[in-house]
Structure 1
Amino acid sequence: MTQLLCWCMEGIGGLRYVRLRKLMQKERPRRVLALLTKTNILCAAAVWDLPVHLVVSERNDPRRQRLDHLWSHLRRIFYRRADVVTANTEGVLKALQAMGPWKRLDLLPNPLPGGLSVVEREEQSNDRQREVLAVARLVPQKGLDVLIRAFASLPPSVREGWRVTLVGDGPERQALEALASDAGLRESIRFEGFRSDPLVFMRRASIFALPSRFEGMPNALLEAMAAGLPSVVSDASPGPLEMVTDGRQGLVVPCDDVSAFATALQQLMRDGDLRDRYGAAARTTLRSLDWDVVELHWRSVLALPAQP
């Protein structure tokens, strides 16, 4: 069975699987935490017959994620090797429940990103710049074309003094730059490329934008909330909506609705007090993800002893 499994995965996973299998056989780790669907599958296959505590984490909603039939079928098979199958949102957890049964299925929320603290000094309104920020890979999933079109549709009197900053890189960059240029906004929409210091932008921006077409629980949203930013998010996936409630930590709009996204942006751009209230609520919400709160659960899932 193991030889047949290895032969099949060599054909499907190619060199990545072969290298991973050899690495696992050589190093014999006691625990493995895998993230992202195809990596999860390859890891499960690589440790199939090894005494490894395997935790796989599904980061996107399987009901929305576009996965070809073969990999979708392999997920149902190989996730059964995992000692724990985890999701980082309730919505993804429910989708995985329908795909089971699993040895153990658990909600494993993302901890607050390292280096952040919700007890930091809250930035004053006059420290913020008139900037709408998106931090994401430049791929169709992230819906950044919606953000650009929405900003372009605003009356010039609303846009005046404001800019959109996109932090991240990807295959859609050229198309998005052309979209901004065609709208006559090349000077108002800045492409910063990949940056290892996104918090610099989050601490100076006034609004965070998440127009994604599907998501799991994006760390960029959590970082923005910890930095006290109000958000405009799409309703495409349940993950972000577990952190941002419409009218509390930000505004929620229908997916791919340029007009609705523009209306939400305008509402926040015109009302500094509203931005402050939503930003403060975002910080409060993030307290539930402090490492002190989630550490015990992470240790349980990873079969680690509790700290003395």
Structure 2
Amino acid sequence: GEDETALKNQCTSLGLDSSVEWMGRTDDVPAALAEGSVFVQSSRGEGFPLALMEAMASGVPCAAFDCAPGVREIVRDGEDGLLAPPGDLDSLADRLLRLTGDRELRDTMGDRARVNVQRFSEAHVLERWEALFRLLDR
């Protein structure tokens, strides 16, 4: 995006050029997620983030700020992802390091994420709506 030049300059000034690969834009989100090992939702405010659910559905464990009820509803902290207190960069970095440093934890949380996020699938949500309507129709 518009911050690309500034971010690349910051990367260079921090001496991280050999550790960072700039992927650019893509329209193939599933393929990009399949190549990733961790997804970070660093937004300081979110409603019900679809990107987070897409990552989880791809089996990618997430680290995120617990910035809104939607994030907490999606990620089960310690089970299928890790949440950090809102705006606490050190805590988010800690969660990210825990995931990147432990392959078994990543794999376990990724597998759980893929299963757990299905509670938001179209079929499951429709089933819940129909159950509500049956209850109200009594």
TM-score, structure 1 normalization? 0.39
Partner of 1:194: 25
Q: Which has the larger radius of gyration?
A: 1
CA distance in structure 1 between the aligned counterparts of 2:119 and 2:24, rounded to whole angstroms: 31
Unaligned runs of 5+ residues in structure 2 are 131-138
Partner of 1:293: 124
Partner of 1:227: 58
CA distance in structure 1 between the aligned counterparts of 2:96 and 2:47, rounded to whole angstroms: 23
**Structure 1 residues 187 and 198: CA distance shift in structure 2, 3 A:** farther
Quick one: which amino acid aligns to residue 122 of structure 2?
W
CA distance in structure 2 between the aligned counterparts of 1:281 and 1:241, rounded to whole angstroms: 15
Answer 1 or 2: higher relative contact order, Cα 8 Å, separation at least 6.
2
Quick one: which amino acid aligns to residue 239 of structure 1?
G
Q: How much does 1:294 deviate?
A: 2.4
Q: How much does 1:297 deviate?
A: 7.1
CA displacement 1:177-204 (0-9 Å, x = unmatched): 2222221112322332321102112112
CA distance in structure 2 between the aligned counterparts of 1:254 and 1:268, rounded to whole angstroms: 17
**Structure 1 residues 291 and 257: CA distance shift in structure 2, 3 A:** same
RMSD over aligned Cα atoms: 2.1
CA distance in structure 2 between the aligned counterparts of 1:255 and 1:186, rounded to whole angstroms: 29
Quick one: which amino acid aligns to residue 115 of structure 2?
T
**Structure 1 residues 182 and 258: CA distance shift in structure 2, 3 A:** farther
Q: How much does 1:298 deviate?
A: 7.8
Quick one: which amino acid aligns to residue 259 of structure 1?
D
Q: How much does 1:246 deviate?
A: 1.7
Partner of 1:91: none
The one of 29, 33, 39 aligned to 1:208: 39
Pick the structure with more strand per residue: 1
- Secondary structure of 2:35 counterpart: coil
- Secondary structure of 1:191 counterpart: coil
Partner of 1:267: 98
Pick the structure with more helix per residue: 2
Partner of 1:254: 85
CA distance in structure 2 between the aligned counterparts of 1:291 and 1:256, rounded to whole angstroms: 32
For the 8 Å contact 1:211–1:255, the answer to whether it is kept is no
Aligned residues: 130
Unaligned runs of 5+ residues in structure 1 are 1-169, 300-308
Partner of 1:82: none
CA distance in structure 2 between the aligned counterparts of 1:286 and 1:229, rounded to whole angstroms: 11
TM-score, structure 2 normalization? 0.81
**Identity of aligned pairs, percent?**
35
